[in-house]
Amino acid sequence: MKKNFLFVFLFLFAFTSARGQISATWKLLENKFTDKPYHRAELVLKNTSGQSLEAGWKLYFNTAFLSVSTQVDNPDLEIKHLQGDFFVLEGKENSPALRAGEQIRIEYRSSEPYLKNSYAPEALIFLRSDGKHFEVRDYEVKHYTTDQLAEMAKDTPLPIPIAALTYERNEGLSLLPESELPPFLPSPKSWKYTEESLKIKNVDFSVVGVPEFAEESDFLRETIRRAYKPKVNASEEPLQIRIEKSSGLSDEGYKLSISGRNVVISASQPQGAFYGVQSFLAMMPAGFWTGPSEELILPQVEIEDYPAFGYRGFFLDVARNFQPKSQILKILDMMAFYKLNVFHFNLANDEGWRLEIPGLPELTDFASRRGFSTDESEFLWPYYGSGADPDKSLSGTGYYTIADFQEILTYAQARHIEVIPEFGVPAHSRAAIRAMENRYQRLMQEGKTSEALEYRLAEDNDQSKYLSAQNFKGNTVCVCQESVYTFYEKLVAEVQTMYRQVDVELKNWHTGGDEVPRGVWTASPVCNDFLAQNPDIKQEELNDYFRFRASQILKEKGMEMGGWEEIGQAHQGDQVIPNPKFADQNWRLYAWNAVAGWGGEDMAYKLANAGYPVVICSSANFYFDLAYDWDPNERGHTWSGVTDLYQSWKTVPGKLYLSHDQTIEGKEWDWSEVAKNFTQLTPEGRKNIIGVSGQVWTETIKSPEMLEYYIFPKMLGYIERAWAGDPDWSNAETEAKMKSMRAEDFNRFANAVGQREIPRLESMFGGFNHRVPKPGAVVRDGMIFANVQTPGLIIRYTQDGTDPTANSPIYSKPIPKRGGEKFRVFTQSGAAGEVLELETQKKRIEGRELE
């Protein structure tokens, strides 16, 4: 017993000591937005261990929002960039000793303003001089408020969402009766309610389908059975659902009729039948998904529907931060429900490799694991604050086994979703390069030279100097080395085998191809030799050489090549233009780089006009890892602006210049002026716009719950656009008419989200975490007016200084201003957003008051 007590005591002492060796605080000192913008900040470290910490310590940390040449005011210290978002604070010669209780203040200056409270250095790891390390748990980041950011940015047009601005943006919205809303999202092409909804209880049901639609019939039958458990009353007429084959409908089109207790779904192909099934399920109330229930509600409706685009994609990056297989299956359920049909799966990048490949175990043994070390020899560094221990890193460590991946493939196929794998090359490849270097070194030590060289991606003595867009060095394969193509062919063959083994066809392959750094291969001995032996190829054409070789490998395997827009681009002076070399190769280009106001917003059209099949992935509208708005408490990127439900919904794929009202900086975006120089789609170019895709990169996303928050509800705007195509308002005769119709259409859509989709999101497939919007509020003539972006959600308030709860009064009309008012938005189930204190707009997040 005494031994057990002593063990527990020693364990707790060691645990407490590790946690309490260092405390840290971070604070923003200055934030400059104009005339060479920058920010200054301080980091204070205090020795709380009770004993001296010897000189020579180092502090490692993550942040993607610090310049690689950050200036430190302390003359004896420096911040050194290592790779990506990983930095180290260390002594120029030796960091000073810290006596017990002593603290050190480090002040630094970084280019670019500081925009988000989540952009501070994170995941601090302290390395002692004896080589032992620990994570700094006692760490406080001093937050600033929305009002404070608005004051900092007052000389810029940046639209900081103070309460009054949010109110102004929501002012045209009002609560609509359900009868004026579409029956579900994405909105069908045409619908007509014929009678009041029919409520049935304890009624038997049957689903009968033609043989061609047997799988779709089974899917519907099983879904209903999980949710509907009637105590059948034999005297009641049963619910009869028929799935019929009908000619004259497009492959993904369908008709749906509900009349009394008879449901008829008509389609010409299984895809259309499946979407008819999903539409029937989409009209069930939110409670249907949490079942079991003895009751069903049947809207009496006639629907005819088909999609605007054949390609309706969702891109998910799991390389930066990993998502478990269970979450991928949940995402596929969501995609099927909302009629998306392509899952673009980014399985490798600089920061991780996520798929088991037979014969190349290093890819997962090494490159799927992240943790702390000084030399990155056993696993990758803990990018994006993924933690010091690789075995406990849920976001940094992880991969899919072959069996996992094949389960994903078959799950997707059953839902009419194509899975397109992406393994980015030649850049974005550092994880693979490092893994293959480990393989090379091991086999060389074993004396197996030819085997060691077989799949090598790097070379000896390459002195090329470059830094990638994400601040990586050594992230680009040597395209002049034949082993690179041997590796690529091996990868393609193994992945194709995985598909074939479960009878899924691999038709399309995404090769990445974006953001190849400037300076790469310029001091490569291998490439210098290659160019000397191939005088018809110039240094600047090496990227084209690689693309063509990769496309040939894929063509031999019977696949079409796709890539980000760069694989179809060339440089002409300072201009980026469509590359005429490959316009006839049928390479599918994913046009992404469309920052509003930077001049590349029409690149998708230029590429389509040049002959390339194009998927519109507009970063300014369809990148869901962008923050919802400029509120400093909203996580996410801002490099291409911000994106919310409205920004994704108002996209016009056929007239992209209508997709913005402001530039990234918040300046006015004049439609008529922009249209004058905006590339217009030719008839052939219009045919080449094959679809749209919504993207989620995961640098700032560290869990399934965070992923869901980032995509919902903003992704619903994209889902509407992917199925419905260009909105009717975009064809109005005048700009004034367009804006008037747009406001009316968005009000209807926002009501559908607030009244129907958010309750459904909270219940279906186990429930999705989602963002509850912040209220808008303004004071006029002594009265407080409040509103919300998605009518149907509930605004509650208090006037006694306490935070609103689910039992607080509901705001339904303006209230007198007394002082101390607080507002908060709630969903119908009671989920709540942030508290808005009108006096100072002080916000709270995660239960902690912001400073």
30 in helix, strand or coil? strand
Q: Are 20 and 49 in contact (CB under 8 A)?
A: yes
How large is the average pLDDT for residues 222-238? 94
Query: Residue 851: pLDDT above 60?
Result: no
**C-alpha to C-alpha distances, 805 to 69, 832, 833, 834, nearest whole angstrom:** 47, 8, 10, 11
**C-alpha to C-alpha distances, 411 to 194, 319, 346, 408, nearest whole angstrom:** 36, 21, 18, 5
Report the Cα 635 to chain-centroid distance in Å.
Answer: 12
Spell out the alpha helix ranges (H) of 241-344: 270-282, 325-337
**How does pLDDT run across 315-357, given as a tens digit for each residue?**
999 999 999 999 999 999 999 999 999 999 999 999 999 999 9
Q: Is 17-142 assigned to CATH 2.60.40.290? A: yes
How large is the average pLDDT for residues 599-619? 98
With bands split at pLDDT 50, 70 and 90, how would you rate the model's confidence at 16? very low
Buried b (16+ CB within 10 A) or exposed e, 23-55: bbbbbbeebbbeeeebbbbebebbbbbeeebee
Q: Are 340 and 719 in contact (CB under 8 A)?
A: yes
User: What is the length of the chain?
Assistant: 851
pLDDT at res. 842: 41
Nearest to 788 by CA among 64, 170, 2, 134: 170
Going by C-beta distance under 8 Å and a sequence separation of 6 or more, which residues neighbour residue 473? 83, 466, 467
Both tokens of residue 430? 């550092």
With bands split at pLDDT 50, 70 and 90, how would you rate the model's confidence at 20? low
Query: Residue 249: pLDDT above 50?
Result: yes
Going by C-beta distance under 8 Å and a sequence separation of 6 or more, which residues neighbour residue 309? 653, 689, 690, 691, 692, 722, 723, 725
Nearest to 762 by CA among 823, 712, 711: 712
Q: Are 113 and 38 in contact (CB under 8 A)?
A: yes
Any idea what DSSP says for residue 811? P
Bin 117: left if φ > 0, else alpha if -120 < ψ < 50, else beta: alpha
647 in helix, strand or coil? helix
- Count Cβ atoms within 10 A of the Cβ of residue 648 and give its class: 0-12 exposed, 13-18 middle, 19 or more buried: buried
SS (H, E, C) 536-568: CCCHHHHHHHHHHHHHHHHHHCCCEEEEEHHHH
With bands split at pLDDT 50, 70 and 90, how would you rate the model's confidence at 843? very low
pLDDT at res. 838: 84
**How does pLDDT run across 125-168, given as a tens digit for each residue?**
999 999 999 999 999 999 999 999 999 999 999 999 999 999 99
Looking at this protein, which amino acid is placed at residue 548?
F
Count CB atoms within 10 A of the CB of residue 273. 31
Query: Residue 183: pLDDT above 80?
Result: yes
Looking at this protein, which amino acid is placed at residue 422?
E
d(CA 440, CA 452): 4
How large is the average pLDDT for residues 303-312? 98
CATH no. of 190-305: 3.30.379.10
With bands split at pLDDT 50, 70 and 90, how would you rate the model's confidence at 13? very low
Q: What is the full DSSP assignment across 469-510? A: TTS-SS-S--TT-HHHHHHHHHHHHHHHHHHHHTT----EEE
Cis peptide before 285, with omega less than 30 degrees from 0?
no
* Backbone phi and psi for residue 662, each to the nearest 5 degrees, phi listed first: -140, 155
Percent of the chain with pLDDT strictly greater than 90: 95
Strands (E), 697-821: 776-780, 783-787, 794-798, 815-816
Give the CA diameter of the chain: 89
- Count Cβ atoms within 10 A of the Cβ of residue 816 and give its class: 0-12 exposed, 13-18 middle, 19 or more buried: exposed
Q: Are 592 and 617 in contact (CB under 8 A)?
A: yes
d(CA 287, CA 296): 10
- Return the C-alpha torsion angle 601, 602, 607, 612, nearest 10: 90
pLDDT at res. 282: 98
Spell out the alpha helix ranges (H) of 575-734: 603-609, 619-622, 645-649, 671-677, 683-688, 704-711, 715-724
Both tokens of residue 88? 């180290």
pLDDT at res. 4: 55
d(CA 339, CA 306): 10
Q: Which residues pair with 38 in a beta bridge?
A: 32, 111
Strands (E), 64-160: 71-72, 77-83, 86-91, 103-111, 122-127, 133-135, 138-141
Pairing of strands 122-127, 58-62: antiparallel
**How does pLDDT run across 781-814, given as a tens digit for each residue?**
999 999 999 999 999 999 999 999 999 999 999 9
d(CA 806, CA 826): 7
How large is the average pLDDT for residues 571-580? 94
Count CB atoms within 10 A of the CB of residue 721. 27
Both tokens of residue 745? 């259409």
Query: Residue 839: pLDDT above 90?
Result: no
Q: Are 270 and 215 in contact (CB under 8 A)?
A: yes
Q: Are 601 and 90 in contact (CB under 8 A)?
A: no
Looking at this protein, which amino acid is placed at residue 38?
Y
Going by C-beta distance under 8 Å and a sequence separation of 6 or more, which residues neighbour residue 494? 357, 358, 359
**How does pLDDT run across 675-692, given as a tens digit for each residue?**
999 999 999 999 999 999
Q: What is the full DSSP assignment across 156-195? A: S------HHHHHHHHTT-----GGGS-SSSSPPSEEEEEE
Both tokens of residue 224? 């209903």
Q: Report the mean per-residue pLDDT for the chain.
A: 95
Looking at this protein, which amino acid is placed at residue 14?
A
Both tokens of residue 505? 């066809």
Query: Residue 199: pLDDT above 70?
Result: yes
Query: Residue 17: pLDDT above 50?
Result: no
Both tokens of residue 460? 């000896």
Domain boundaries, the chain: 17-142, 190-305
Query: Residue 14: pLDDT above 80?
Result: no
